[in-house]
Amino acid sequence: MDLYELTISQAQTGLAKREFSSLDLVNAMLDRIEKLDGDIGAYITIDADGAREAAIEADQRIANGYYLLKHESFTNNGSNLDSSNYRYPLLGIPIALKDLLCTIGVKTTCASKILENFVPQYDATVVSMLKNAGAIIIGKTNLDEFAMGSSTENSGFHITRNPWDREHVPGGSSGGSAAAVSARMCIAALGTDTGGSIRQPASHCGVVGIKPTYGRVSRYGLVSYASSLDQIGPITKDVEDSAILLNVICGHDPLDSTSANIEIPDFTSALELFKNYGLKGMKAGIPKEFLSVKGLDPDVETAFNNAKDTLEKLGVEMVEVSLPQTDYAVAAYYVIAPSEASSNLARFDGVRFGLRDNSANDLIDMYKKTKSKGFGAEVQRRIITGTYALSAGYYDAYYGRATRVRAMIRDDFTRAFEKCDIIISPVAPTPAFKIGENIDDPLTMYLTDIFTLSTNMAGLPGISVPCGFSSKGLPIGLQIMANSFDEMALIRAGYGLEQTLAIKDKFPNI
């Protein structure tokens, strides 16, 4: 097996056994990026020098015994290894970051011309957590500008292409992270999810993506799109790796007022729950409104039914549930998210940091020219929409009404989870579409998030697990949703599906 194919758990074991070095691992990734990323465009920034320096330091730590278990050393043949007990669970492992997360000394552009040369003075909390766990940050991945999009076509720098078929999008807005993991140009990555931006690209690229419960992961140092909806989460090659990453990045952060001060379980123990008890006794809800959505692709429906049948064979009982506000979710979301974006992006005014147009005659002219040049068309569209929704005389009619719909969506899920442990659905109505196919049709683009954005509105966790392929060979994922702070149920069910379908080791032949 080539080093770039390794999962986190495999890399942990190999490094601990001294089968290869962290520098070997980093160099394998950098070689892979050099070979492939010119075509795929998953990255905005590669920190090759920083990654190699960190790898040399990691190798020294390993040589000094820092990869020992908490309570016992491993024998010379590497037996008794248990990745959940490593002092530094990610020591020497290269991870990619969506370029929306602040990184000290490394550019954070948000894929926008307005921040093209911005270098933060601090790390986001999740970045600090990764570094404290020994991870190596190999680079920053491409995205739809400020995370506003579903295809990674809205980047201010370049389009990212799907590794399975480079005429198709990878999904968005975390398309760069999903493409990098799918193409094996990093071991794992972090993305962000505001309305499906982890789960949808994970589905389109054939990898695993988890959106944790709102408040489970600190948002400090995340450049906000919509503050009440954004959440950071892992994009990985398999479910186990997502559980390992969640163990590292979850936790209360006093620097984030929305961070939940709640106990963090060992998410990898959910894998043992499946191994020991299977999925018998679990109930999965199927929302009747989701499967009646117009435009559901036959290949997606077939893959969904196959995944449902697989879960049933594993002992999961299927029950019908209702989410009656589904018809209003997209409309409410595209009032709330742009409104919050309008507020959050007001700071990019050319005065304090970022791009500044120096040809302006006065302050107001400078504001106009800076934002017109710095923001792309989709970001401008959403800022204008949000500003209108928040304007005097329209607040109650739009934003106020949308927040009431949001409360009703949350109530729908509360009632649904009285009948089941998890809810399953497709991730997106179609497999990955062709580049340029929907770029001039914002409404069609927005509707691609119809199955995912409700979980953000309700603050719930969700996972995308590969469950099949389209007739053209494009990956399709199953979405599993759970109640607040019940990521364990997601991981247990997702792991069971993954192990039974046995398609997790398939990746694009590039």
Taking Cα atoms as reference points, which of 66, 67, 32 lies closest to residue 48? Answer: 32
Q: Which residues of the chain have pLDDT under 50?
A: 68-81, 83-85
What three-state secondary structure class fits 416? helix
Q: What's the rounded Cα separation, in Å, for the pair 331 and 114?
A: 28
- 471 in the same domain as 367: no
pLDDT at 322: 97
Q: What's the rounded Cα separation, in Å, for the pair 225 and 501?
A: 36
What are the beta bridge partners of residue 137?
Answer: 95
CA separation, residue 258 to residues 195, 198, 216, 261 (Å): 18, 20, 9, 9
pTM: 0.95
Q: Which of 98, 140, 308, 371 is catalytic?
A: 98
The total of structural domains in the chain comes to 2
- 136 in the same domain as 237: yes
- 330 in the same domain as 256: no
One-letter-per-residue 3-state SS of 131-182? HHCCCEEEEEECCCHHHCCCCCCCCCCCCCCECCECCECCCCCCHHHHHHHH
Contact (CB, 8 A) for 103 and 140: yes
Q: Is residue 317 part of a domain?
A: no
- Domain edge (last residue) among 368, 391, 414: 414
Contact (CB, 8 A) for 146 and 111: yes
DSSP 8-state secondary structure symbol assigned to residue 432: P
- Domain edge (last residue) among 414, 443, 476: 414
Q: Which of 9, 112, 151, 173 is catalytic?
A: 173
- Domain edge (last residue) among 414, 438, 470: 414
Q: Is residue 32 part of a domain?
A: yes
pLDDT at 75: 37
Give yes or no: 98 in active site: yes
pLDDT at 453: 96
Q: Is residue 81 part of a domain?
A: no
Give yes or no: 173 in active site: yes
Contact (CB, 8 A) for 174 and 51: no
Which residue range(s) make up the domain with 367?
326-414
Q: What's the rounded Cα separation, in Å, for the pair 457 and 230?
A: 10
pLDDT at 67: 61
DSSP 221-246: TB--SSTTT-EEEEEESSHHHHHHHH
Contact (CB, 8 A) for 432 and 165: yes
Q: Is residue 297 part of a domain?
A: no
Give yes or no: 228 in active site: no
Q: What's the rounded Cα separation, in Å, for the pair 197 and 154?
A: 13
Q: What's the pLDDT tens digit per position in 345-374? A: 999 999 988 999 888 889 999 999 999 999
Question: Phi-psi bin for 278: left (phi > 0), alpha (psi -120 to 50), beta?
Answer: left
Q: What's the pLDDT tens digit per position in 52-71? A: 999 999 999 998 877 644 33
Taking Cα atoms as reference points, which of 154, 138, 211 lies closest to residue 477? Answer: 211
Q: Which of 155, 174, 177, 197 is catalytic?
A: 197
